[in-house]
Amino acid sequence: MKNIKRLLLLLLFVLTSHKTWGDSLYVYPSFYYTFGKYSTGGNSNSIAGYATLSFNGKSFVTLGYDNLNIEYTTGKYLQQNHTFSYLQNLFPSYLKVSYSYIGGKYTQTGQTSSSFDNTHLISLEYFFYSNMFYLGLAASYIKQSGYTQLNVYQITPRIEWILSNKVYLSTKPNYTYVSDQRNLFSVAGYISWNSIQDVYLKLGGFVGKRAFYFDTDLLTIYNQNETQTNLFTAQMDYIPSKYFKLTAGYQHTNFTGYSIDYFILGIRTAIKF
């Protein structure tokens, strides 16, 4: 609750002081629902909301909140994720810093007591544009305490290529070190295709091994302790204007010992002040 109040106070401060940033302020609110089906028999439901504030198209502040409920065959897990990020456009360079606090509570079936965990994440990314390419590097640090005690370090290069005004390719290798002595390597990628007017199709995934992977673009984290071994994703975006976007997606991912199928629906709008 304290984290929510802090984020709301920060949002209020930014909104009331935006004239010091410039004359153009856009707010992009977005909402997502995700249903997950576990191969072990459990289900998850996630409701997430984000608000991105754009100041003259140069400075971007994003506040996010995600409420996750997982029903296992052995118990229930509740998780709340509070996210903040700041992106500065210094074209052709970009600088982004992100922070997340995640609190979780697990209650075993038939028990009244619960176990708790909390995760702090901080990420710094720099990337630049050159001759139809975006190139960069992100570094993330994650500290998990409570039920488990772990430190996680991640390095993720960014290599993206604009083939045309309709096709976009992205590749992100990743190295992750977990303090329980896991050294993990993976390569993620996707292709985005403007197949017909206002409709964008995206296919992607990753191969290799990773854990606690943080996506600096989506501001999402796979917060499972188990090693993630692969992922396939398909997504369709309907964008009739810069003020409206509908998203529908599917993911299949494998972890050590189980797999999850995710089904995602989202909407984003824009408001000018």
Q: What is the pTM of this model?
A: 0.89
Higher-scoring residue by pLDDT: 166, 273: 166
Whole-number Cα distances in Å, 27 to 32, 198, 216: 17, 21, 20
Q: Which domain holds residue 15?
A: 2-272
Supply the CATH number for residue 52's domain: 2.40.160.40
Strand pairing category for 150-162 and 25-38: unpaired
Tell me the average pLDDT of the chain. Answer: 92
- The burial class, CB within 10 Å (0-12 / 13-18 / 19+), for 239 is middle
Q: How far apart are CA 250 and CA 34, in angstroms?
A: 9
pLDDT on residue 175: 98
Say which residue the tokens 């700041």 belong to: 86
Asked whether the beta carbons of 234 and 249 are under 8 A apart, the reply is yes
Q: How far apart are CA 63 and CA 137, in angstroms?
A: 22
Number of structural domains found in the chain: 1
pLDDT band for position 2 (50/70/90)? low
Higher-scoring residue by pLDDT: 147, 201: 201
Count of beta carbons in the 10 Å neighbourhood of residue 123: 22
Compute the half-sphere exposure of residue 228: CA atoms within 13 Å on the CB side of its CA: 25
Extract the tokens encoding 268: 């984003």
Asked whether the beta carbons of 84 and 74 are under 8 A apart, the reply is no
Cis geometry, peptide bond prior to residue 173 (ω within 30 degrees of 0): no
Q: What is the pLDDT of residues 26-56, one digit of tens each?
A: 999 999 999 999 999 999 999 999 999 999 9
pLDDT band for position 9 (50/70/90)? low
Give the single-character DSSP code of 12: H
| Nearest Cα to Cα of residue 235 among 245, 220, 250 | 250
Extract the tokens encoding 106: 């697990």
